[in-house]
Structure 1
Amino acid sequence: MSRTGRLGRVHAARTLGEPEAAASGLPDPGLRDSPAVDRTPTSRLALGVFGGCRRDGAWVVPPRFTAWSMWGGGRLDLTEARFAARETVIRAVALWGGTGIVVPDDIDVEVRGLGLFGVFGGCRARGAGRPGAPRVVVKGLALFGAVVVKSPRGVR
């Protein structure tokens, strides 16, 4: 059935069963496609020195990624990212700077690092992601700076 024909049937529906009949043959809605892929990673490093760095959109995260912010800021957004491995380790270092990492709700995240005269944290109380989802471990150091891991709901 064509898209315009299906929409016409939905708009013309007068009973609850008519839209269901128009939707027959459509795939079931589900979670996003598999976040683990076998493609080549897009980049392995995000570096912000006396400035900023940003990595977002559709990109492939390698098994080991380094985010370095020194007298500047950085942002990693993993909400549209795909992962080259089931477990990814992100080493985040913030020296007199800050790094924000946004992680999707459907992956397992572990945050462990040291905040020395700074902050290293976020998402500690969050449970595991959906079964078979990738696991992201964020570790590193925040010295007079901050590394903060958030879900997309916590980002404004």
Structure 2
Amino acid sequence: MTEELPELRASDADRERVAEVLRDALAEGRLDMEEFEERLDATYRARTYGELAPITRDLPVGQVAVPKVDMLKRPEQDGSWASRIVGGEGSSTWAVAVMSGFQRKGRWTVPRRFNCFAFWGGGDIDLREANFAAGEVEINCVAIMGGMQVIVPPGVEVVVRGIGIMGGFDHREEGVPAEPGAPRVVVTGFAFWGGVGVERKVTRAERQRLREERRQQRLERRSAARELRRGEH
């Protein structure tokens, strides 16, 4: 199937599935750290299934499954919090950065507990476009001489319970009331000579929508002002 549709575009979830296979292979000793980093970099740069397929072809459970192309239009998620709390196990449950970095972003499913570790490295855990396996999820961060950034969308409740020694956890987003039905994100872990930041940001698409909305409002005000001046004359 991959050979039949080599140019079909891969999604963020597809890249995360390949990255998970690579992490398992590293833990089992099938890849050394250099091979793992090279393949992981190639995974996040891949744009099509044809580019993803060779990365895990020599590993167990390494075939990239190309989804069936469905020509029927299906109803999409409405963006409500109820539609984003989907149950299940989560599409990715852990991440490691040793003198390197990792990212979890885009359309992925946050598990009930996501564990991440950074040593002389860093990572980004972006929840703005994510689905959630439960109404409360835990992001457990261990940062040793490294740092991590947890990005949450507006409306989500944040609780920070991490411990820092010559490092720290960002508590600025605590205490913001949650929207009805929104998930709760609990950030836990340990930081030594490192830090874990928590930031609340809108998505790029939402930012663009707000920018366009403000631009339209300015145009309408200018138009109204011109009409008023014409009426005065």
Shorter-chain TM-score range? 0.7 to 0.9
What corresponds to 2:191 in structure 1?
142
1:28-43 map, 5 Å: 34-43=83-92
Deviations 1:40-99 (A, max 9, x none): 411100111110011100000100111211110111000000100111011111000000
Give the whole-Å Cα distance in 2 for the aligned partners of 1:36 and 1:84: 6
User: Is the CA contact 1:43–1:61 (under 8 Å) kept in the aligned structure 2?
Assistant: yes
Contiguous gaps of at least 5 residues in structure 1: 1-28
Give the whole-Å Cα distance in 2 for the aligned partners of 1:85 and 1:37: 7
Deviations 1:108-128 (A, max 9, x none): 110111111012113344422
Letter in 1 for 2:133: A
SS in structure 2 at match of 1:34: helix
What corresponds to 2:166 in structure 1?
117
Contiguous gaps of at least 5 residues in structure 2: 1-77, 203-233
TM-score, normalising length: structure 2: 0.50
The number of aligned residues is 126
Structure number with bigger Rg: 2
Q: CA deviation at 1:35?
A: 2.2
More strand as a share of residues: 1
What corresponds to 2:98 in structure 1?
49
What corresponds to 1:103 in structure 2?
152
Q: CA deviation at 1:131?
A: 1.3
1:1-156 map, 5 Å: 34-152=83-201
User: Is the CA contact 1:63–1:85 (under 8 Å) kept in the aligned structure 2?
Assistant: yes
Considering Cα pairs closer than 8 Å and 6+ residues apart, tell me whether 1 or 2 has the greater RCO: 1
Q: CA deviation at 1:38?
A: 2.8
User: Is the CA contact 1:55–1:76 (under 8 Å) kept in the aligned structure 2?
Assistant: yes
Letter in 2 for 1:47: V
Please list every run of at least 4 consecutive aligned residues from structure 1 whose deviation after the TM superposition is greater than 4 angstroms. Answer: 29-33
Q: Cα RMSD between the aligned structures? A: 2.1
Residue identity (%): 42
